[in-house]
Amino acid sequence: MYINTFAQFKKQLGQLDKWLVTASEYAKSRNFDPNVFPTLRLAPDQFPLVRQVQIACDTVKLAVAYLTGKPAQAQEDNETTVEQLQARVRSIIALLEGLTASDLEGAASRVVSQPRWKGEWMTGEDYFIQHAVPNFYFHLTTTYAILRHNGVAVGKRDYLGAQTKRPPAAQSAGN
């Protein structure tokens, strides 16, 4: 389960990288600075795009750390440009490229806690299913919505990305 989900996270981060490229191209075609995008938000009480991307990336990075027991790489949250956001996304893709199934042995039973949980904890399985997966997709989707709301031509296929298509199973002669 974990390795397949992390592979999907990697794919979706690749899509996010493409959205940021599309956003830059859109801005240039409309003669405005693409670096306005990191400051945009959907609502006044929501984080701007820059923070949405940072949290999506951090969710994956921390899930890897918590479930493997390896320390997470420190990142300063100081991105101000689309290019810097792409570098952050690509750093997490690189992290996932190095992840193996053996890295995740025992992940389900690991104890996961965060300082903001004030001494409370979850199992690795509960943390992954109840926190990491929905949190990642919330911030990914919000990033998509901010870009789309601001005129960037991304659609459902851009969100989903390429999908594995297989022919139907061969029918046996007697069926």
38, 50 contact by CB (below 8 A): yes
Q: Which residue has the tokens 């899509």?
A: 15
- Tell me, yes or no, whether 169 lies in a domain: no
> Which 3 state secondary structure label does DSSP give 133?
helix
- Tell me, yes or no, whether 167 lies in a domain: no
The answer on pLDDT for 87 being more than 70 is: yes
Residue with the larger pLDDT of the pair 73 and 175: 73
- Tell me, yes or no, whether 33 lies in a domain: yes
CATH number of the domain within which 27 lies: 1.20.120.450
Number of domains in the chain: 1
- Tell me, yes or no, whether 66 lies in a domain: yes
pLDDT at 77: 96
- Tell me, yes or no, whether 154 lies in a domain: yes
Task: State if pTM tops 0.95.
Answer: no
- Tell me, yes or no, whether 99 lies in a domain: yes
Closest CA to 63 of 122, 151, 14, 116: 122
* Residue range of the domain that includes 54: 2-160
Q: pLDDT tens digit string along 111-166?
A: 888 778 788 889 999 999 999 999 999 999 999 999 999 999 999 999 999 988 88
Cα separation of 65 and 154, whole Å? 31
Cα separation of 149 and 143, whole Å? 10
Tokens of 121: 């904890």
Residue 124 to residues 106, 113, 116, Cα–Cα distance (Å): 9, 9, 17
Quickly state the pLDDT bin for 170 (edges 50, 70, 90).
Answer: low
- Tell me, yes or no, whether 61 lies in a domain: yes
- Tell me, yes or no, whether 35 lies in a domain: yes
